[in-house]
Structure 1
């Protein structure tokens, strides 16, 4: 590493051990308030900086990218998802963009599995009943009846690292594994899971009891669970989403749940830019939806590993090497020179 320490802006607070390492390696400016910065705040904080360490709460669109100081050459995202960054605009501006993949697999799969259990077994509802009533009336043969997981069909949309990890956990609970993915997995993956591949998503949705989403957000996957596809799902089935809210047509999902055609949904991600939809909150209050606060990757271990990946990306880039987690747009545009 050169004698000149890279100057970086970190837009949110990170684990203490990561902030300490960054402070040793870089000239680091951290957003101590730990609230989402506005575009103007980001631009002001980047004056004289080399690197922007962003998170999913930062909207880095084409307008912001066009206004970045010439000194900024790297956007090092703290996180796997980068749908908050206009990758095409960054590429055209000559910026390098990195993320932190692979470190979230186990934690995200754990959360998806926990939600699959919580939903049909009414775990949240049972806890709330005790807290609300303050005194348990006692066991009854017909009280709090849910549904068994064993023997049910799980349809995984996106059989990448996380989808495969979910399938492994679900198989241990006796679920039958079905999946739809851009590429069919090899026998070494399918056979131990007894996994059935579908090349027709609509047909899979009609056949399974639980749909769990594990695909990245792209132009092709936006609203992959559209109103029409939600209408194809089996009556009494469930939706689990720990990936991206934009994968689901949320108003259509709400309507299917309100009508009672779908039995429930467990959502770690949902549209909340203007506040959570009151209809969704009402369904949660009525125990037909389980909502968690974007917690799928929220373990200390995952956050530290994410921070370490950010550091590796920055050091590689500033040393003149290709960062290990560099991202490219789907359709790269001609690249322009940048400082």
Structure 2
């Protein structure tokens, strides 16, 4: 796999600073599309540099043209040529020899479209058109593939199927992939490594489970998933919170001492009958049924709002206004109380995803 290295890259459009010293290494967002355009060569960088397998392809005053970078781009809309067949679209970037080697049939099979060679784009579904765009990008064996929010099918099941099929095809072909997406669940499920961008900077990167379970700061915590925030008095052994005492972990591994707040994920809060022993009582104020699980909005007796995710709705009655008991599983993540309040936002080695 190719190594793509971005070092201290800046990019401004007039007074708008889209990128502010971005550092990133991808082996094999917020500014995310701008960064992709700089990597592809569609925009020049104002400072910093971009290297591909050690070769500098972008720096201030020096830029390798896009057509010489051998970086494939799959835009949001796919951008197929409407007057060409599927085969014609995939063959567009290949020379005559490559067109006769079976590469077209190979990449179409990789994306699950074997036998579709003679279809026209308007005879394909949206998901099929996206697969053709990926096959066209893969056909000339590019070392790097850039995907700019390509999984935009309105049907959730179709979207999930397309992205998993495309992920499998990219893995088989051995390409280094950079994906940008606004969909946090998509980033966490498809990427080997996630980089979270905010205000033109990458504020955290790492494996998806690490970014979700150990966010670098409150903004990231609230950005990549539902967050339950509780005020806390820290002790040497943990924290006292409205949900009772609980063990805590910190970003630096040191025991917290000053007053602060702790983060829990809704799936860490277990809902049990209200008359159970040693539980905190809460009232159900909202119920969001999501098919595979249900998210309960709850209010503690002191007014503190919390949320719990349950996977077996029949296990405990949870009608609106009913009382339930709560237990906490696992450790909370502690943050100092002087850190910025988390705000709502839009949240890959083989592939890297930028939610942002």
Into which bin does the TM-score normalised by the smaller protein fall?
under 0.3
Looking at CA atoms only, which structure, 1 or 2, has the larger radius of gyration?
A: 2
Instruction: Return the TM-score normalized by structure 1.
Output: 0.22
Instruction: Return the TM-score normalized by structure 2.
Output: 0.22
Q: Which is richer in helix?
A: 1
